Amino acid sequence: MELPDFEDMQKVVEEILSLSLFKAGLELDIKVAESDVFKRATVEEAYFQNGKPPSATYIENTYKYPGLDGEITEKRRQLGDTSARLEYQKNKLDLMKTLVEIWRSEQANNRVSVSV
């Protein structure tokens, strides 16, 4: 059995960092956009119902996920894609670590069988 390339492992770690930072940025962008949706929906008369601002529940169920004009939808898609790629890289690193542990066990077993 061969060891995973440690340079490849470092690249995976760097990719995990990059994806984690990008994901955090998307999550922040989405929260800010959701806040803006709530603010605009309660202030701009275009979103009023019977002359009154919509309820928080209505805003939550109607506008929060897509945005007022669909502006949040693409960010949510990017977040889903980024989360999936991040999870893949984490699993890849875990597999590499497991392969290192298996290699270590094999080496220890070989030393024991040679010394017997």
Q: What is the pLDDT of residue 35?
A: 97
Residues 54 and 37: beta-carbon distance below 8 Å? no
Q: What is the pLDDT of residue 96?
A: 97
Angular region, 70: left φ>0, alpha ψ -120 to 50, beta rest: left
What's the pTM value of the predicted model, to 2 decimals? 0.85
Which amino acid would we find at residue 105? S
Can you give the pLDDT of all 116 residues of the chain as single tens digits? 788 999 999 999 999 999 999 999 999 999 999 999 999 999 999 999 999 999 999 999 999 999 999 999 999 999 999 999 999 999 999 999 999 999 999 888 888 776 65
